[in-house]
Amino acid sequence: MKKECLPLKNEEIIQQLNLEQKCALLSGETVFTTRGYKKAGIPSITLSDGPNGVRKQAGAADHLGLNPSVPATCFPTAATVACSWDPALGEQIGQAMGEEAAAQEVSVLLGPGLNTKRSPLCGRNFEYFSEDPYLSGKMAAGYVRGIQSEGISACPKHFAVNSQELRRMASDSVVDERSLRELYLTGFEIVVKEAHPKTIMSSYNLINGTYANENAHLLQDILRKDWGFDGAVVTDWGGSNDHALGVKNGSTLEMPAPGGDAVRELLKAVETGKITEADVDARLDELLTLVFDTHAAVENHSREFDADAHHALARRAAAESTVLLKNEEGLLPLAAGTRVAVIGDFAETPRYQGAGSSAVNSIKVDTFLECLKESGLNSVGFATGFDRQGKPDAAKKAEAAALATKADVVLLCLGLDEIKESEGLDRTDMKLADNQIELLQAVQQANPNTVVVLSAGASLETPWLTHCKALVYGALGGQAGAGAMVDVLTGKVNPSGKLAETWANAYEHTPAKDNFAGKGRTVQYREGLYVGYRYYQTAGVPVAFPFGYGLSYTSFAYSDLKADAHSVTLTVKNTGNRAGSEIVQLYIAKPDAKVFRPAQELKAFAKVQLAAGESKTVTLTLDDKAFRYWNTKTDSWEVEGGSYEIRVGASSADIRLTAVVEVAGTEAPNPYAGKSLPHYESGKVQSVPDAEWETLMGCLIPEDKVRIDRNMTLGELNHSRSPICWLVWLVLHTLLTASYKRGKPDLNVMFQYNMPLRALAKMTNGAISMGMVDGIVMEAKGFWIIGLCRVIVEAVKNVILNVQLEGRLRNS
Ligand code: BGC
């Protein structure tokens, strides 16, 4: 049936297909490929992870990074490159990754990830840029421009409010509309409007009771209508809950390969009027545009790339992202010939990327020990120093302390081990392992000239800071990160990175400490707007290292600030005696605001390179996001009129220049007039009472209890009423506990533990149908016999229907 109302770009092709063929095209054929349809000239395309390098699986494919992939360059992760505050660098990395992807015949590269870091404990923070949406959005836009310059598609993810790994496929992020818009969506808005990604990945979670992938507010009202996105929305792997609702509400392609069941679901939905054929056509049109566009680019692309050049880029990127957090007595940089003792397991076996779907099979991996050989430093020896899995080891500690006495300076490589940072699990604390802290103390006693070289993709508590003279944060530096670190330590590169997230003094100080990651299915975002520095600075909570902080081997002076409501200029001078780069940050504040807001917010930044003694004029533009706030009364962006402070500085806590500008307002009514919101007015949001949060939300707190339904997770099966389900839970729980004890994350088990029952039908390539899942749900409800019978009947039905369907698709 033809729909006159749709201006379809691919109308001619769509007309050649029957409804079943159309529906079939809207889900994947294998874990990482779409269905093709040769007769209509529709090719199949490949989608591959990921955010810091290509992970194309040539053999058995999975979405957790378990099976090996084709070798590719492993760039520093997003959390690292964010510290460069340099979208142009992001663009160069994106371009290199796009080149490698296209060379490997990948049409869609699944990244960058740009979720706002709500809590330091999110296990995937290493894959995300920042706690600030403006910085995240600008960095991600750079990546997307770079990736897409090769003709393929980037796929920013995970849209949206995906802030944790616990129950990641079935947790409901309950967040007020203003925080949703200002904090969790602004980064995506920037990337969509400024870099025009051809695809975007919807997240696993629900937002205010509706799955992101079938959320009309998110995908239609905001993404497509407000922001003008005209590309394809791809589900996260297994993230489709109700495929038909997804299609109706703007989700284009269900991944990975749900099999015939998903096709039948759509057919039935059209027959029953749940969705229309026009909905299917609209999604198919988006998909075909993507397929033709990127397939042509891939076909015409060279199969070669310069691996050495990409390694060099990865090294430069890591060096430009390294943050010097402490440098007492100017201990760094180290002069050639300095006698150094190298201590720490990470010097030999680097921690340079995170675990999970982003894990790249690196072309080569530099180690600190190897790179040191060409540094001009004089190594007196190496000691592993500690057990990587955290076991106390007095002999290793003693050996390290003895070695430390022989050197001028100790380079002590510490960090988080593999179990701490992985897709599929959140961290349980922000601590460095006790055995590493004890080692640091022993080494410092042996030699006070101790430099800590830190590998971690997320912030840490640093009560041990007094035990080192210098602290250099290399984050997760990618395959060439070790060389970059050596370049910084020796002064070949003058560090210029600045933190893209605040380092709190203690986890207990973080704003979401009581609500992360939720006790049940709903996760309460009670802290509202006050995430990261927005919280610490408004509530007056001291931190270890503020957002935007980072030292250099030189110094910079700021002067001559001139500002109006559109643009700001100032002069930055390098007042030291070596070349360096400074990241100039602009925050906006409105101390007399009537509509509550954080004490200050980042609204512009620039990185400026200066030779020793050189001065440059820096111009910062204030865009449409500079003064706006989301008004829940008018349901639109508004500006409160009056005077605003422009604060320019070297970090969020080191403001060097201020000016006041007058801004015309939009005269909207104050949405909070007459409401009692004292915690939100003061920013002291760690313990917002129920009633106040309900006032902010404009609704009652949703009920949170385990329900026995398709979305019950396997980790919740102990709440079921079936011995078989209890057994499954027991097995999984035992395996999970054992993997924690081993100190190595078992991603498969972790994934299954947090997986809802319905995902069985979404991730088994058609082997399990939703009917079978409904049988399992009956079983879990205590209808043991009927449940089991239903599973068996549905299984037989599924096999027959799948064979028939695949036959029809092949022969039609
Ligand atoms: C992750 C995505 C990833 C996908 C495919 C999912 O588990 O959340 O980020 O792109 O798998 O591997």
Task: Write out pLDDT tens, residues 739-762.
Answer: 878 767 688 888 888 999 999 999
Q: Where are the alpha helices (DSSP H) in 568-712?
A: 678-682, 690-697
Q: Which residue lies with its CA nearest to atom 3 of ligand 1?
A: 357
Cβ of residue 357 lying under 6 Å from some atom of ligand 1: yes
Cβ of residue 63 lying under 6 Å from some atom of ligand 1: yes
The rounded distance, in Å, linking the Cα atoms of 269 and 22 is 13
Q: Which residue lies with its CA nearest to atom 2 of ligand 1?
A: 236
List pLDDT tens digits, range 106-158: 999 999 999 999 999 999 999 999 999 999 999 999 999 999 999 999 999 99
Cβ of residue 189 lying under 6 Å from some atom of ligand 1: no
The rounded distance, in Å, linking the Cα atoms of 125 and 110 is 16
The rounded distance, in Å, linking the Cα atoms of 533 and 645 is 17
CA of 256 to the centre of ligand 1 (A): 10
Please, are residues 503 and 460 in contact by the beta-carbon 8 Å criterion? yes
Cβ of residue 680 lying under 6 Å from some atom of ligand 1: no
282, 160, 172: which is closest to 218 by C-alpha?
160
Residue 79's pLDDT is what?
98
List pLDDT tens digits, range 136-146: 999 999 999 99
| Count of CA atoms in the C-beta half-sphere (13 A) of 151 | 18
Residue 739's pLDDT is what?
83
Residue 2's pLDDT is what?
43
The rounded distance, in Å, linking the Cα atoms of 400 and 383 is 5
Cβ of residue 762 lying under 6 Å from some atom of ligand 1: no
Residue 6's pLDDT is what?
55
Q: Helix (H, G, I), strand (E, B), or coil: what is residue 607?
A: strand
The rounded distance, in Å, linking the Cα atoms of 187 and 183 is 8
**Closest ligand 1 atom, CA of 155?**
10
Q: Which residue ranges of the chain lie beneath pLDDT 50?
A: 1-4
Cβ of residue 49 lying under 6 Å from some atom of ligand 1: yes
CA of 631 to the centre of ligand 1 (A): 34
Q: Give me the domains of the chain, ranges plus CATH numbers.
A: 18-300 (3.20.20.300), 317-497 (3.40.50.1700), 552-680 (2.60.40.10), 714-811 (no CATH)
227-to-189, 195, 230, 384, 754 alpha-carbon distances in Å: 7, 12, 9, 52, 33
Q: How far apart are the first and last CA of the chain?
A: 18
Cβ of residue 417 lying under 6 Å from some atom of ligand 1: no
**Closest ligand 1 atom, CA of 111?**
10
162, 71, 72: which is closest to 113 by C-alpha?
162
Mutate to test the pocket of ligand 1, among 46, 52, 97, 110 (most ligand atoms within 8 A of CB): 110
Catalytic residues: 236
List pLDDT tens digits, range 482-502: 999 999 999 999 999 999 999
Residue 3's pLDDT is what?
43
Cβ of residue 236 lying under 6 Å from some atom of ligand 1: yes
Whose structure tokens read 């029952």?
757
Mutate to test the pocket of ligand 1, among 48, 205, 233, 236 (most ligand atoms within 8 A of CB): 236
- CA 169 remoteness from chain centre: 15
- Sign for the CA dihedral angle at 634, 638, 642, 644 comes to positive
CA of 236 to the centre of ligand 1 (A): 6
Q: Which residue lies with its CA nearest to atom 12 of ligand 1?
A: 63
Q: Helix (H, G, I), strand (E, B), or coil: what is residue 11?
A: helix
Output phi, psi for 321, to 5 deg.
Answer: -105, -5
Residue 68's pLDDT is what?
80
CA of 113 to the centre of ligand 1 (A): 10
Mutate to test the pocket of ligand 1, among 30, 48, 49, 204 (most ligand atoms within 8 A of CB): 49
CA of 54 to the centre of ligand 1 (A): 13
| Count of CA atoms in the C-beta half-sphere (13 A) of 43 | 16
Please, are residues 192 and 225 in contact by the beta-carbon 8 Å criterion? no
Q: Which residue lies with its CA nearest to atom 5 of ligand 1?
A: 63
- What is the share, in percent, of the chain residues with pLDDT greater than 70? 99
CA of 50 to the centre of ligand 1 (A): 8
> Residue type for 680, please?
Y
Going through 405-477 in order, the beta strands assigned E by DSSP cover 409-415, 450-455, 470-473
Cross-strand bridge partners of residue 537: none
Cβ of residue 237 lying under 6 Å from some atom of ligand 1: yes
CB-count exposure of residue 810 (10 Å: 0-12, 13-18, 19+):
exposed
Mutate to test the pocket of ligand 1, among 52, 423, 751, 763 (most ligand atoms within 8 A of CB): 423
Give me Rg for the CA atoms of the chain: 27
